Amino acid sequence: MHIAMIGTGYVGLVSGACFADFGHHVTCVDKDGDKIAALQQGEIPIFEPGLDALVAANVKAGRLRFTTDLAAPVAEADAVFIAVGTPSRRGDGHADLSYVYAAAKEIAAALAGFTVVITKSTVPVGTGDEVERLIREANPAADVAVASNPEFLREGAAIRDFKFPDRIVVGTSDERARKAIGEIYRPLSLNQAPVMYTARRTAELIKYAANAFLATKITFINEIADLAEKVGADVQDVARGIGMDNRIGSKFLHAGPGFGGSCFPKDTRALVKIALDHDAPLRIVEAVLGVNDNRKRAMARKVAHALGGNLRGKTVAVLGLTFKPDTDDMREAPSIPLITGLLDMGAKVRAFDPVGMEAAKRELPDIVYCDDAYDCADGADALVIVTEWVQFRALDLDRLKAVMKQAVVVDLRNVYRPEEMAAAGFVYEGVGRGKV
């Protein structure tokens, strides 16, 4: 099939490359001429393991191409995916749908023959209705069906998630659209990927509800971690104990500095606004947002506590800047409020991240960026593990201790065992485990 993918951001580029790998002919469209020129030269604008090779293979095979011209790819497409950004709108937290609606109007003018227009972007309930209205208003003669097909991709594991999904959600009441989308995803039938067909508005809500629930699990275990520290319990064991209950499950029960990234903060805020607009407030999700924001700010105080309460003139080494491993994404990363708080308390900050430092420099210009973990720790009064990159899971503790001014480690991801750190001569503080 011929597919036009509007938007070459994280979702659009990964989805387009994977669809091409299925054997479809995919054209990715973006207004950013520099980005398209770079993609045409084989330069990938985001860090995602395996994506560069996947793009290169499908470009070489002639199944994947990039352009700034929307009209021609849409005219020849059987399906057009809208995968543009929906950032939080400045001032009120609603999802900014201006890019979605602008794409819909441009698509309308270029449609030729029956076409399925599919929102892949994360959008509030009812957005598909407005997309359809805009298309029909702009082109009353268009033979078009509008569907919702939300993405469930984890940064750092997006290609596997796309090819081995837990589920594929398709929101449409149009039988021709169901058939076309089923054909697009047919190669996944070998993996027995379940396809769930729903009404369009239901599909839109599923995406928001999924992200809000996962954010709630993270926030719940973080609050339990705070209680564990007060009562002398170990949150790691608590998480294992409750996660063995198959009604709860073990995933997303890892205590840490709070959630960040491009999805959970933005989508939970948008869901709260949607609920308020419909007079159905989501008090649990509102609390999740508040607790998460407070937690990120509290992490700097946790570091200060490990150093006796005073950071003025102290040097703090920060390992990990991105919101999670295997990505260069700094959006709403916990490292930002942590480091800002450390600076506000008078500390000097040195930092290292395997791939995120260029992006971090735009957010955190007033710190020292280092070559590796040991360079980062050199002369530090405390070392803080913020992102659980695999490179930080087996540090040479003797070497680390030798280069640090004080052997103090604050492990915000519980990467190390307290008894191991104590045996190595460190003052160690994890999350929900107390201080040794």
Does 218 lie in the same domain as 183? no
Q: Are residues 354 and 296 in the same domain?
A: yes
Domain boundary among 163, 198, 233: 198
Which of 151, 171, 198 is where one domain is finished? 198
Q: Which two tokens stand for residue 54?
A: 């996947």
Whether 164 and 303 map to the same domain: the answer is: no
Residue 71 is assigned to a structural domain of this protein? yes
CB contact at 8 A, 177 and 145: yes
Nearest Cα residue to 27 out of 85, 91, 72, 87? 72
Q: Residue 189's pLDDT band (boundaries 50, 70, 90)?
A: confident
Instruction: Let me know whether 220 and 99 are in one domain.
Output: no
Other CB atoms within 10 Å distance of the CB of residue 10: 22
Burial class of residue 1 in the structure, from the number of CB atoms within 10 Å of its CB (0-12 exposed, 13-18 middle, 19+ buried):
middle
User: In which element (H, E) is residue 196 found?
Assistant: strand 195-198
Residue whose C-alpha is closest to residue 291's, from 207, 233, 216: 216
* CA torsion through residues 20, 26, 29, 34, sign: positive
Residues 247 and 328 in one domain: yes
Range of the domain at 35: 2-198
Among 18, 28, 263, 376, which one carries the catalytic annotation? 263
Residues 162 and 290 in one domain: no
The answer to whether residues 162 and 227 belong to one domain is no
Judge whether 204 lies within some domain. Answer: no
Q: Is 18 a catalytic residue?
A: no
Residue 193 reports pLDDT greater than 90: no
Last-in-domain residue among 150, 172, 198: 198
**Residue 396: count of CB within 10 angstroms of its CB:** 10
pLDDT attached to residue 111: 97
The answer to whether position 207 is within a domain reads: no
What phi, psi does 245 have (nearest 5°)? -75, 115
Is residue 415 in a domain?
Answer: yes
Q: Do both 178 and 249 map to the same domain?
A: no
Q: What is the arithmetic mean of pLDDT over 206-226? A: 97
| Domain presence at residue 242 | yes
Q: HEC states along 213-272?
A: HHHHHHHHHHHHHHHHHHHCCCHHHHHHHHHCCCCCCCCCCCCCCCCCCCCHHHHHHHHH
Rounded CA-CA distance 205/215 in Å is: 15
pLDDT for position 435: 65
151 and 300 in a single domain? The answer is: no
Q: What is the pLDDT of residues 3-56, one digit of tens each?
A: 999 999 999 999 999 999 999 999 999 999 999 999 999 999 999 999 999 999
pLDDT tens per residue, range 74-120: 999 999 999 999 999 887 889 999 999 999 999 999 999 999 999 99
Tokens of 1: 């099939």
pTM here is: 0.93
**Count: domains in the chain:** 2
- Residue 147 located in a structural domain: yes
The sign of the CA dihedral 44, 50, 51, 52 is positive
Domain co-membership, 175 together with 247? no
Q: Within this chain, do residues 338 and 411 fall inside the same structural domain, yes or no? A: yes
Backbone angles phi and psi of 339, in degrees to 5: -70, -40
Kindly state whether residue 434 falls inside one of the protein's structural domains.
no
Residue 208 has pLDDT above 90, yes or no: yes
Same structural domain, 305 and 403: yes
Residue 352: phi, psi to the nearest 5? -145, 140
What CATH number should be reported for the domain holding residue 150? 3.40.50.720
> Taking 70 as the threshold, does the pLDDT of residue 361 lie above it?
yes
pLDDT surpassing 90 at residue 264: yes
pLDDT of residue 262: 86
Tell whether 435 is covered by a domain: no
The average pLDDT across 318-333 equals 96
